């Protein structure tokens, strides 16, 4: 099968969150199953060095105000199609935000252009290669199904994947003229959403199937609490909505070979983790304490992640003699409040504001537990890294967290299947109780180590999920081939 992915970020090249991890890893798993995958991405500055080694496959004189080219490059085990358009993607700041931290004003055009090219390559192919299926990710690729539909041509089936419905790409209705979107689809059954152009909305309405990144999130999305205004549309398309759990790249995230770790380790040499923990104690200025766990957080600092609640639970952590180290960035106010906690509890709480891939690996390799008190979590990858590294996930029971962590309740402990701690509802009180439970479990060193080994043995790679995607894609290709319209 020839598969075209369209997305706005991809690890290890450009990453703001889990979307990049997924786009950087699932193509490899699909290739291992014998398929050919190409990933269309904007050629941000990070791709400049790679473009030099690629070939120009497509040239456009005018893509919304400037020329553009598509380069085909093989990099880090991936087939990339890089959309180079200086006026849209060649700039400083982050990929979505300007130097002041505001969304780039022309984001609707930047990602409209990405979607347009996704549809064009879907219809005509590139460099002699033609996709049989198009896989579009999040609102940035939401207009791919829209452009495919408005072409009126025989198009390959398109699957829209929702990684986070909180980000919908809603823009002023006038943008449709600039983007050349047809009036015929500007209605509630198409890409119109309460007088706006809805990128994700259009993608959901006009794709052949919709996937999201965990089975529990797929059911949560149908409710007003989690659907964020799109629950009605999703309910009407419920038969076409599937939840497929994310996997992680088992080569990049391997505690036995990870070059970022001070000391790599295996389930048989867990004592080697001590060196990683000592590194973290030095780095964050934390006092050692063998009796209580070291918790970590590696996250965007936002209310989605429930990290405002954790601020209130820090005194509980400290009272138990446990420690907390935090790596993250996001809401300015929350960043300040975390820094204030580090000042209030020196030796117990350490905070680093910013993004640091290398440190995130070290934290997974040296902490005892990873905290994720998310209010909603479509899948979550940090708990999967945690399982793989024996860093016990302490998570809210929602979305992918509910699907990937087995709570250490009495029954699970007796039947020896627990891999972490879950709590619900997402409140400070429940989080406090989860922290107490974790500290209690930690005291029983032998069973804690057994739980670590069990966590490390969990299947967190792409094997079974890649097969589910491949089966879904294949069934759509077959269905479309037998249809007469």
Instruction: Kindly write out the interface string for residues 337-356 of this chain, putting x where it contacts ligand ADP by CB under 6 A and - elsewhere.
Output: ------------------xx
Question: Degrees (nearest 5) of the Cα angle 296, 400, 254?
Answer: 55
- Contact criterion met (CB below 8 Å) for 27 and 79: yes
How many Cβ atoms from other residues are within 10 Å of residue 67's Cβ?
13
Answer with the entry of ligand ADP, ligand GLC, none that 107 interacts with (C-beta below 5 to 8 A by kind): none
CB of residue 277 vs ligand ADP: minimum separation in angstroms? 18
Report phi then psi at 349, rounded to 5.
-125, 130
Using rule CB under 6 A, residue 378 touches ligand GLC: yes
Among 299, 367, 404, 422, the residue binding ligand ADP under the rule CB under 6 A is: 299
Among 205, 327, 434, 460, the residue binding ligand ADP under the rule CB under 6 A is: 327
Q: Between the CA of residue 195 and those of 151, 187, 191, 404, 430, what are the distances in Å?
A: 23, 9, 10, 39, 41
Please give the residues from 398 up to 417 whose contact with ligand GLC meets the rule CB under 6 A.
400
Instruction: Kindly write out the interface string for residues 372-401 of this chain, putting x where it contacts ligand ADP by CB under 6 A and - elsewhere.
Output: -------xxxx-------------------
Taking CB atoms, the residue at the shortest distance from ligand GLC is 18
How many Cβ atoms from other residues are within 10 Å of residue 429's Cβ?
12
Mark 117-143 as b/e (b = at least 16 C-beta within 10 Å). bbbbbbbebbeeeebbbbbbbbbbbbb
Among 130, 300, 433, 480, the residue binding ligand ADP under the rule CB under 6 A is: 300
Instruction: Kindly write out the interface string for residues 207-236 of this chain, putting x where it contacts ligand GLC by CB under 6 A and - elsewhere.
Output: ------x-----------------------
Answer with the entry of ligand ADP, ligand GLC, none that 213 interacts with (C-beta below 5 to 8 A by kind): ligand GLC
Q: If 0-12 CB within 10 Å is exposed, 13-18 middle and 19+ buried, where does residue 91 land?
A: middle
With residue 220 as reference, give the H or E element that holds it.
helix 215-220
Please give the residues from 231 up to 290 whose contact with ligand GLC meets the rule CB under 6 A.
246
- β-pairing verdict for 170-172 and 68-75: unpaired
Q: What's the first-to-final CA gap in the chain, in angstroms?
A: 22
CA 438, 247, 202, 86 torsion-angle sign: positive
Quick one: 115 or 374, whose CB is closer to ligand GLC? Answer: 374
Quick one: 300 or 437, whose CB is closer to ligand ADP? Answer: 300
Among 298, 418, 421, 456, the residue binding ligand ADP under the rule CB under 6 A is: 298
CB of residue 138 vs ligand GLC: minimum separation in angstroms? 8
Residue 180, Ramachandran bin (φ over 0: left; ψ between -120 and 50: alpha; else beta): left
- Rg over CA atoms, the chain: 23
CB of residue 235 vs ligand ADP: minimum separation in angstroms? 24
Answer with the entry of ligand ADP, ligand GLC, none that 299 interacts with (C-beta below 5 to 8 A by kind): ligand ADP
Among 4, 7, 21, 472, the residue binding ligand ADP under the rule CB under 6 A is: 21
The residue among 79, 97, 80 whose CA lies nearest residue 300 is: 97
CB of residue 165 vs ligand ADP: minimum separation in angstroms? 12
CB of residue 18 vs ligand ADP: minimum separation in angstroms? 2
Using rule CB under 6 A, residue 55 touches ligand ADP: no
Helices marked H in 41-178: 48-51, 86-89, 107-124, 143-151, 175-178
CB of residue 394 vs ligand ADP: minimum separation in angstroms? 14
CB of residue 381 vs ligand GLC: minimum separation in angstroms? 5
Instruction: Kindly write out the interface string for residues 155-194 of this chain, putting x where it contacts ligand GLC by CB under 6 A and - elsewhere.
Output: --------xx------------------------------
With residue 454 as reference, give the H or E element that holds it.
helix 445-456
Q: Which stretch binds ligand GLC (CB under 6 A): 11-19, 152-160, 456-464, 467-475?
A: 11-19
Using rule CB under 6 A, residue 329 touches ligand ADP: yes
CA distance 283 to 277: 10
Would you tell me which residues interact with ligand ADP (CB under 6 A)?
A: 17-18, 21, 298-300, 327-329, 355-357, 360, 379-382
């Amino acid at each position: 099968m020839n598969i075209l992915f369209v997305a706005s970020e991809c690890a290890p090249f450009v990453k703001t969150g889990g979307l990049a991890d997924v786009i950087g890893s699932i193509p490899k798993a699909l290739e291992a199953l014998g398929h050919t995958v190409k990933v269309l991405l904007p050629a941000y500055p990070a791709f400049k060095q790679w473009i030099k080694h690629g070939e120009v496959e497509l040239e456009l004189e005018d893509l919304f105000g400037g020329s553009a080219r598509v380069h085909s490059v093989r990099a880090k085990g991936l087939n990339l199609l890089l959309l180079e358009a200086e006026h849209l993607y060649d700039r400083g700041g982050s990929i979505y935000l300007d130097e002041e931290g505001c969304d780039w004003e022309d984001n609707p055009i930047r990602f409209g252009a990405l979607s347009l090219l996704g549809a064009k390559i879907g219809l005509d192919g590139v460099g002699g290669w033609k996709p049989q299926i198009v896989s579009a990710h999040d609102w940035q690729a939401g207009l791919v199904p829209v452009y495919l539909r408005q072409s009126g041509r025989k198009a390959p089936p398109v699957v829209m994947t929702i990684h986070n419905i909180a980000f919908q790409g809603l823009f002023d209705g006038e943008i449709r003229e600039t983007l050349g979107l047809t009036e015929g689809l500007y209605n509630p059954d198409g890409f119109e959403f309460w007088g706006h152009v809805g990128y994700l909305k259009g993608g959901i309405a006009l794709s052949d199937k919709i996937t999201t990144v965990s089975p529990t999130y797929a059911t949560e999305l149908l409710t007003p609490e989690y659907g964020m205004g799109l629950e009605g549309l999703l309910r009407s398309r419920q038969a076409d909505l599937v939840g497929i759990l994310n996997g992680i790249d088992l080569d990049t995230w391997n505690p036995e070979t990870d070059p970022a770790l001070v000391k790599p380790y295996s389930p048989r040499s867990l004592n080697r983790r001590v060196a990683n923990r000592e590194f973290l104690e030095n780095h964050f200025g934390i006092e050692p304490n063998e009796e209580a766990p070291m918790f970590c957080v590696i996250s965007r600092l936002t209310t989605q992640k429930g990290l405002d609640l954790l601020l209130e639970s820090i005194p509980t952590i400290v009272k138990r003699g446990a420690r907390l180290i935090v790596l993250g960035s996001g809401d300015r106010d929350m960043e300040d409040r975390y820094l204030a906690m580090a000042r209030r509890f020196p030796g117990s709480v350490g905070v680093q504001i910013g993004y640091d891939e290398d440190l995130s690996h070290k934290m997974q390799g040296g902490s005892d537990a990873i905290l994720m008190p998310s209010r909603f979590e479509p899948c979550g990858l940090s708990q999967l890294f945690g399982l793989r590294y024996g860093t016990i996930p302490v998570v809210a029971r929602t979305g992918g967290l509910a699907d990937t962590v087995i709570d250490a309740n009495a029954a699970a402990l007796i039947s020896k299947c627990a891999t972490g701690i879950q709590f619900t509802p997402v409140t400070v009180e429940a989080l406090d109780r989860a922290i107490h439970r974790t500290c209690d479990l930690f005291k029983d060193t032998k069973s804690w180590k057994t739980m670590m080994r069990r966590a490390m043995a969990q299947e967190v790679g792409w094997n079974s999920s890649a097969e589910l995607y491949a089966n879904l894609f294949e069934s759509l290709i077959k269905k479309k081939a037998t249809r007469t319209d």
